[in-house]
Homo-oligomer: A and B are copies of this chain.
Amino acid sequence: MEQTARVSESISRRPGRPLGGQLVVDREHVLDAAERVIRRDGAGSSLEAVAVEAGVTKPIVYDRVGGRADLADALAERLADRMVLATRTALAGETLSQTGLTRFIEANLRTVADHRELFLYVTGGSTEQTAIGRLSLAERSTTPLTKTLAVWRSGIQQDPGVAEAWAFGIVGMLQMVSQWWITQEGLSAAEVAGQISELLWNGLPGRT
């Protein structure tokens, strides 16, 4: 029952309005704590554990970030941001090349590997609309990709109307491949990235 509240003493853990009327533990602080606890204890971490790690109690978590679904959503946003950041250079410019695509995929895989548990936490939405909420990670990583695809398709005189469906498809492909890949042993990111890039660039029949 007794939670060893290992918390830095600097944080006021007593009730009462703090000096200056400023929040001691803000939203970002809670999200940081959530990331730490998920990285340490796995994707099955509870909100209680997050609260303890943040040095506060549960209702604070609810006040700062909302319920479990909101937490997953906020973390999805963070992960998506990192994903976009890591893959940005590969998608830069108006033109798209196969090597650029390969770099994009490899960066994607590496980001997932770097945030294994967080990735599982975010993609493993508990139930109901949370499962649909998995789309939130997808949607965020999809947005810039959709834009890139639409611009590029226009540039090469092809219908840009397919961009959104394609973006979701590509993101889904990468999510599943990531999930499969992180359970495999002895398969390098570069290798897998090359294979998937080959498929996405040349299509199933390949270039003849």
Interface residues, chain A, CB within 8 Å of chain B? 42-44, 96, 101, 120-121, 123-128, 130-132, 134-135, 138, 149, 156, 158, 162, 165-166, 168-177, 179-180, 183, 192, 195-196, 198-207
Interface of A is mostly: helix
By the criterion CB–CB under 8 Å, are B132 and A44 in contact? no
Q: Do A127 and B124 have beta carbons less than 8 Å apart? A: yes
CA of A127 to CA of B42 in the docked complex: distance in angstroms? 9
Instruction: A166-B204, A168-B177, A176-B176 given; name 5 further pairs at CB < 8 Å.
Output: A101-B204, A124-B125, A165-B192, A169-B199, A201-B205
| Bound Cα distance from A202 to B205, whole angstroms | 8
Give bound CA distance, A156 to B101, whole Å: 25
List of B residues within 8 angstroms of A205 by Cβ: 96, 156, 201
Sorted from nearest, which 5 A-B pairs have the closest CB atoms?
Answer: A172-B176, A124-B131, A203-B203, A173-B173, A44-B128
Decide yes or no: A135 and B179 within 8 Å by CB, A124-B127, A203-B201, A204-B201 being known contacts. Answer: yes
**Given contacts A156-B205, A165-B195, A134 and B179 within 8 Å (CB-CB):** yes
Identify which of B120, B130, B135, B202 contacts A132 (C-beta below 8 A): B120
Checking B124, B128, B130 against A130 with a beta-carbon cut-off of 8 angstroms, the contacting residue is B124
Say whether A195 contacts B168, CB under 8 Å: no
On whether the beta carbons of B43 and A131 are closer than 8 Å, the reply is yes
The reply to whether B180 and A176 form a contact with Cβ atoms under 8 Å apart is no
C-alpha gap A183/B168 in the complex (Å): 13
Query: A133: shortest Cβ distance to chain B, in Å?
Result: 9
Q: Given A162-B199, A200-B203, A204-B101: A176 and B183 within 8 A (CB)?
A: no
A176: chain B residues at CB < 8 Å are 138, 168-169, 171-173, 175-176
Assembled-state Cα–Cα distance A118/B26 (Å):
39
Q: Which listed residue (B44, B162, B173, B200) contacts A127, Cβ 8 A?
A: B44
A-B CB contact pairs (8 Å), 29 listed? A43-B131, A101-B204, A120-B128, A120-B131, A121-B127, A123-B131, A124-B124, A124-B125, A124-B128, A124-B130, A124-B131, A124-B134, A126-B126, A132-B179, A138-B176, A162-B195, A162-B198, A165-B192, A166-B195, A166-B204, A168-B176, A168-B177, A169-B176, A169-B196, A172-B172, A172-B175, A172-B179, A176-B176, A203-B207
